Amino acid sequence: MKKIFLILSILLVGQAHSQDKKINDDLTGIWITGSGNAKVEIYRNNNTYQGKVVWLKEPTDPKTGKPKTDIEHPDKSLHSRPLMGLVNLWGFQYAGDNEWTSGHIYDPKNGKEYKCVITMKDKNILNVRGYIGITLIGRTDTWTRTKL
């Protein structure tokens, strides 16, 4: 009986430790993209992380004077959705070692979606790597923690 209790205790402690590893809110906050053209707020959505556009350097279309919309999206029915508030990061899970994986990033400049991994270099610097297929085929953008 003691052996069964010991085994169950070890399993429960190991499972609790494993679950702790899946949540790391260091990623949350507001980040400015490498180009400085947008700020993205990253937040936890249940057990995953996602991000939305909360600021644009040029929020209005110079031709129309109206707020910019998602005109490059391949689905024409989404061309009228505003870029402000657009969820452009989703599905990230903490993988350990300051890395969040299994996510996706949407680039409204070209209307394309990519797999993505985010690595925190320090508490104020993120490397956001969008890629196709494998991480070797992609591009990394460095984001900096900021305020709105």
Write down the domain spans for the chain: 24-146
Q: Which of 52, 117, 130 is nearest to 84 (CA)?
A: 52
CATH 2.40.128.520 fits 24-146, yes or no: yes
Q: Specify burial of residue 55 (Cβ count, 10 A radius: 0-12, 13-18, 19+).
A: middle
Q: Residue 134 is which amino acid?
A: I
Mean pLDDT of 24-50: 97
Based on its alpha-carbon atoms, the radius of gyration of the chain, rounded to whole angstroms, reads 19
User: Which helix (DSSP H) or strand (DSSP E) does residue 112 occupy?
Assistant: strand 112-122
5, pLDDT greater than 50: no
CA separation for the pair 64, 77 (Å, rounded): 19
Per-residue model confidence as pLDDT tens digits over 49-80 = 999 999 999 999 999 999 999 999 999 999 99
State the pLDDT at residue 2: 54
- Categorize the per-residue pLDDT at 10 as very low, low, confident or very high, splitting at 50, 70 and 90: very low
Mean confidence (pLDDT) of the chain = 89
Q: Please tell me the distance from the alpha carbon of residue 16 to that of residue 35, in angstroms, as a whole number.
A: 40
pLDDT of 11: 42
Q: What is the structure's pLDDT at 115?
A: 98
Helix (H) or strand (E) segment spanning residue 3: helix 2-21
